Amino acid sequence: DVKVTQSSRYLVKRTGEKVFLECVQDMDHENMFWYRQDPGLGLRLIYFSYDVKMKEKGDIPEGYSVSREKKERFSLILESASTNQTSMYLCASSLLASGELFFGEGSRLTVL
Amino acid sequence: GQNIDQPTEMTATEGAIVQINCTYQTSGFNGLFWYQQHAGEAPTFLSYNVLDGLEEKGRFSSFLSRSKGYSYLLLKELQMKDSASYLCAVKGNAGKSTFGDGTTLTVKP
């Protein structure tokens, strides 16, 4: 069965803290994505990666960075968390050919 | 840029048929996805259209008209468990998808 696993379901951090969100997929997918989901704004793409050590900015990359050192793992980093980064973060992966997204369960981040 | 529009909310009755529309204006188009998302859960794949026409899968069908920038998701024989958000997403270049804001469907008895 296809699986995308996000390391933390719920996190509470303070303003200015560094935050790491980890995502692992077991499907040998080339593409991996980080989205954030906010009420009334839908899913917005933060960053994506189509290969190891490759990354591309999405629609809202400001305040975020990513790392992909291994094919199965894609990390989202908030260098200095701010309250407007309180959100649900969804990781997804897909085959390059199909584009069908497989999502993780999500990480709900609260920044105080 | 990408602009994807779908209604915010819809309500329908159990056993009925409902059509959720999606219109898009995008700089690149390589297909259109529909995903279902129950409250508190991750989105899951429902359908994919890359050519014009209707794709049927059980109670769910999806239609695409590329010339009109239009798609719809048709749900037949509605069940209470169909209450969820339905997300329209356009596949652009490099395999990345851009999502609409989603349509929250409430099915009433």
Determine whether the interchain pair B42/A103 forms a contact, defined as Cβ–Cβ distance below 8 Å: yes
**Residues in chain A within 8 Å Cβ distance of B7:** none
Which of these ranges, A34-38, B11-15, B21-25, B28-32, has the smallest mean pLDDT? B28-32
Amino acid at B38: H
Give the separation between CA A48 and CA B8, rounded to whole angstroms.
27
From chain B, the residues in CB contact with A59 under 8 A are 98
Coil, strand or helix at B93: helix
Kindly report the nearest CA distance between residue A14 and chain B, in angstroms: 24
pLDDT of B1 reads 61
A1, B11, B78, B108 from B82: Cα distances, Å: 23, 11, 7, 10
Residue type present at position B75: L
Collect all residues with Cβ–Cβ distance below 8 Å to B51 and sequence separation of at least 6: B64, B66
Q: Would you state the pLDDT for residue A1?
A: 67
What's residue B26's pLDDT?
84
Sorted by sequence, the CB contacts under 8 Å of residue B56 that are 6+ apart come out as none
d(CA B56, CA A18): 46
Average pLDDT, stretch B83-102? 91
Dist. CA A93–CA A33, nearest whole Å:
6
- Mean pLDDT over all residues of chain A? 94
Q: How confident is the model at residue B93 (pLDDT cuts 50, 70, 90)?
A: confident
> What is the per-residue pLDDT for B27?
82
Using 50, 70 and 90 to split pLDDT, how confident is the model at A78? very high
Reported as a pLDDT band with limits 50, 70 and 90, residue A93 is: very high
| Alpha-carbon gap, residue A84 to A92, rounded angstroms | 22
Q: Virtual CA dihedral for B71, B84, A12, A112, nearest 10 degrees?
A: 70
CB B60 within 8 A of CB B47: yes
